[in-house]
């Protein structure tokens, strides 16, 4: 009987707490830069608050401009992993907001994120069969993502600056060899919050 009473009090308390919490959904769009020599790309996503400190961001980035031929083959035979370039990605990253007092006329947040997704990796090895200029092989692979973001908002609009470390595995067929690599992705985005 006591456990039933405690359970009902918890449910009532949780319902009351969520009633006081304004929804906070953000649609963010902007530019992203992936670890050099990949060119500038586009990032887009949807971030939604789950509680006062937890949020969930679902999004992606794409680098539609090809890697220039003169910088595509930046690796070497001694360090083959240099031929693998991060091109595109999809992610889902839960976030932990650092609680703080908010100013009266504007708002800011700092959020740490850790999650996963998929990354599309280009193999720019010029010795690879079929490699011609910007005709590099792009393959999808699972990825782990860790990062942080800072947001500044006035009213319903704001700016978000983010940085992510994206870890993924890459391999070659001949000779068969694999590596775990980490590449960075930076973004500056505008967002609309409702």
4 found inside a domain? no
Cβ atoms of residues 133 and 69 within 8 Å: yes
Which CATH number characterizes residue 67's domain?
A: 2.40.160.20
Q: What is the pLDDT of residues 49-74, one digit of tens each?
A: 999 999 999 999 998 888 766 555 55
pLDDT tier, 112 (very low <50, low <70, confident <90, very high otherwise): very high
The Cα–Cα gap between 132 and 130 comes to 6
- Residues whose CB is less than 8 angstroms from the CB of residue 15 and which lie 6 or more positions away in sequence, other chains included: none
8 found inside a domain? no
154 found inside a domain? yes
pLDDT tier, 9 (very low <50, low <70, confident <90, very high otherwise): very low
173 found inside a domain? yes
| pLDDT value of position 40 | 87
The Cα–Cα gap between 94 and 80 comes to 33
User: Which sign, positive or negative, has the C-alpha torsion 22, 92, 185, 145?
Assistant: positive
147 found inside a domain? yes
80 found inside a domain? yes
First to last CA, the chain: 42
As a whole number, the mean pLDDT across the chain is 83
User: Which sign, positive or negative, has the C-alpha torsion 45, 26, 48, 100?
Assistant: positive
Strand partners, 144: 116, 167
150-181 b/e (C-beta count within 10 Å ≥ 16 → b): ebebeeeebebebebebebebebeeeeeeeeb
Q: Which domain holds residue 180?
A: 20-193
Give the mean model confidence (pLDDT) for residues 31-43: 82
81 found inside a domain? yes
Q: What is the pLDDT of residues 146-157, one digit of tens each?
A: 999 999 999 999
Cβ atoms of residues 143 and 182 within 8 Å: no
Kindly state the tokens that stand for 10. 């918890």
Which is higher by pLDDT, 133 or 64? 64
Total tally of structural domains belonging to the chain:
1
127 found inside a domain? yes
């Amino acid at each position: 009987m006591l456990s039933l009473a405690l359970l009902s009090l918890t449910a009532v308390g949780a319902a009351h707490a969520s009633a006081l919490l304004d929804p906070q959904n953000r649609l963010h769009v902007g530019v992203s830069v992936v670890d050099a020599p990949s060119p500038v790309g586009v990032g887009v996503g949807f971030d939604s608050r789950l509680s006062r400190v937890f949020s969930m961001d679902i999004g992606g980035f794409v680098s539609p401009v090809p890697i220039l031929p003169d910088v595509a083959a930046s690796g070497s035979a001694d360090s083959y992993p240099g031929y693998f370039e991060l091109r595109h990605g999809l992610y889902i990253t839960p976030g932990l907001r650092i609680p703080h007092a908010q100013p009266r006329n504007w708002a800011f947040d700092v959020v740490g994120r850790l999650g996963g997704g998929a990354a599309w990796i280009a193999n720019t090895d010029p010795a690879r069969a079929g490699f011609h200029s910007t005709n590099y092989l792009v393959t999808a692979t699972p990825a782990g993502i860790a990062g942080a973001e800072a947001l500044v908002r006035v009213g319903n609009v704001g700016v978000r600056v983010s940085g992510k470390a994206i870890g993924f595995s890459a391999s070659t067929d001949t000779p068969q060899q694999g590596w775990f690599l980490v590449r960075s992705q930076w973004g500056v985005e505008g967002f609309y919050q409702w």
